[in-house]
Chain A
Amino acid sequence: GENVEQHPSTLSVQEGDSAVIKCTYSDSASNYFPWYKQELGKGPQLIIDIRSNVGEKKDQRIAVTLNKTAKHFSLHITETQPEDSAVYFCAASRGGSYIPTFGRGTSLIVHP
């Protein structure tokens, strides 16, 4: 089955800095890669996703890149703000009815 590794487990940055979270996956057939943000006391919320037919996707301060050859994908957050503080999960799946496999999560702390 799929195996997703996520690094780092904790990331501490100053407000305004950029943050990068990296994930690798094992199943070469995976083609859908969502990212979730989980704030304290809440369930995970989808913030951005990417499919294997593109290498990069942006949404305001958030971007995700995908390298299918190396089987890794990354989340980039620019101009971080204290409200970006949360746990971020990456996931990978074959799409369709295949249930995503989640990484272990990254706790992002943005210091004002």
Chain B
Amino acid sequence: SAVISQKPSRDICQRGTSLTIQCQVDSQVTMMFWYRQQPGQSLTLIATANQGSEATYESGFVIDKFPISRPNLTFSTLTVSNMSPEDSSIYLCSVWGGETQYFGPGTRLLVL
């Protein structure tokens, strides 16, 4: 199994600012992902964080808005840039460990 921690666990931010979310895994993993979960909604994949190269973004998500870093096999960051109230959501880090997908506890973001 994989144990994932995220920082911060929650934050309240002003519109126009940026927030960087950190994800730390207790073991080396090849595949690392970032999801968004809007209130009462399902899990929407933002991007796959690739170690040593640019992240792979899903349709509707762009690097300028959600820059991602993956400096090694245990750590990644997601930045939510130039935030608006529509960015209020839960952001989840996820990894493939063996043949199972694991999720972090999430970062709850409220943008005012």
- Cross-chain contact B106 with A99 (CB below 8 angstroms): no
- Cross-chain contact B43 with A99 (CB below 8 angstroms): no
CA distance A104 to B104 in the complex (A): 19
**B1: nearest residue on chain A (CB-CB)?**
A46
CB distance from B76 to the nearest CB of A (A): 15
**B42 close to A (CB within 8 Å):** yes
**B53 close to A (CB within 8 Å):** no
- Cross-chain contact B106 with A42 (CB below 8 angstroms): yes
- B22-42: CB near A (< 8 Å → 1, else 0) gives 000000000101000000111
- Cross-chain contact B42 with A102 (CB below 8 angstroms): yes
Q: Which one of B11-19, B64-72, B81-89, B95-103 contacts A? A: B95-103
Q: Which parts of A2-43 form the interface with B (CB within 8 Å)?
A: 32, 34, 36, 41-43
A-B residue pair count with CB separations less than 8 angstroms: 39
Residues of B within 8 A of A52 (CB): none
**B50 close to A (CB within 8 Å):** no
The 8 Å CB contact of A49, one of B41, B100, B102, B105, is B100
Query: Could you tell me which A residues sit within 8 Å of B by CB distance?
Result: 32, 34, 36, 41-46, 49, 89, 95, 97, 99-100, 102-105
Query: Could you tell me which B residues sit within 8 Å of A by CB distance?
Result: 4, 31, 33, 40-43, 45, 48, 92, 96, 99-106, 108
Additional A-B contacts beyond A44-B103, A89-B42 (14; CB < 8 A): A32-B99, A34-B100, A41-B108, A42-B105, A42-B106, A43-B4, A43-B92, A43-B106, A44-B43, A45-B103, A99-B45, A99-B48, A104-B42, A105-B42
